[in-house]
Amino acid sequence: MENIVVLDGYVANSGDLSWEPLKKLGNLTVYDRTPSNQVVERAADATAIIINKVNITAKLIEQLPKLRYIGLLATGFNNVDIAAARQRGITVTNVPAYSTDSVAQNIFAHLLNITNRISLHSESVKRGDWTRCTDFSYRLMTIEQLAGLTMGIYALGHIGLKVAEIAHAFGMNVIALTSKSQDQIPDYITKVDHDTLLKQSDVLSLNAPLTPDNRHFINRESLALMKPSAILLNASRGPLIDEKALDEALNKRQIAYAGLDVLEVEPALPDNPLLTNKYCEITPHIAWQSTAARTRLLETVISNLQHYLDGDPVNVVG
């Protein structure tokens, strides 16, 4: 019988979903959160662990001799030392593409909030401004139409392609910086180079995984190339943006607005200048958090473990 330990299950399942199907695969222990200094103690007898953001280092792997399987409650796997796991013969699996629709929805929620000034006008109405208004309608700031604007996309994975599809449906022109060739992408997307992406985008959506080469993809130099009216969106990885440079660019009106679902350090540090920047809207890494996406996530985690136990592992990383 497998000893299965979930080390940080709360964010994915705070109680509205069920762990019962996972219990059918072995003796299950679920922890909402696990501090780094308690990982070894809690996983000492585990043959399989399920993690979201807990760091599994080579040193930890050495201290878990019974461990044979690591299942990620996520797509990213940079919190696991894959080389050390492979050397020990430990199988590591992830959950690809479970939140594509939800993340794309969040990106456009930010974009529509910014272009239509939804939160600004809603707060105004609740203050009583409409009841005191002489006219039947008023606007506090310029309202932008998406049709006819250029949506720039950095990276065309599952989410980038979904963002492109939605942008096209809104009547936007779509350009992308991608490793794919032009004949590998839909004909409504135009492949462009780095500088063209920055210069031509009215809206720029970052949809790339974090790599050593693209950290601070958005920096002082790249921001200087963008339009003063441009909107920057990020629902991928926080370190793609140099946050100090973005804060300065927003305050200097080098670009118009930013909509972020991720930050360089999470939870957000209290001294992060973007938290108080009036031109920046931030949500707490919730793009993947729809009930539908989390349900798919949990179902795939269970399926991954079942496939491994059946000797037919799937979604193996590394």
Structure tokens at 280: 């920046």
Question: What dihedral angle (degrees, nearest 10) is formed by the CA atoms of 198, 204, 205, 211?
Answer: 20
- Sequence length of the chain is 318
CB 81 within 8 A of CB 112: no
Q: How far apart are CA 303 and CA 231, in angstroms?
A: 39
Task: State the Cα angle at 317 between 78 and 21, rounded to 5°.
Answer: 100
Which residues does the annotation mark as catalytic? 237, 266, 285
- The tally of CA atoms less than 13 A away on the side-chain side of residue 283 is 19
Question: In 3D, which of 226, 264, 224, 260 has the Cα closest to residue 244?
Answer: 264
Q: How are beta strands 203-206 and 189-191 bridged, if at all?
A: unpaired
Structure tokens at 61: 């792997």
Q: Which contiguous run of DSSP H or E holds residue 125?
A: helix 118-126
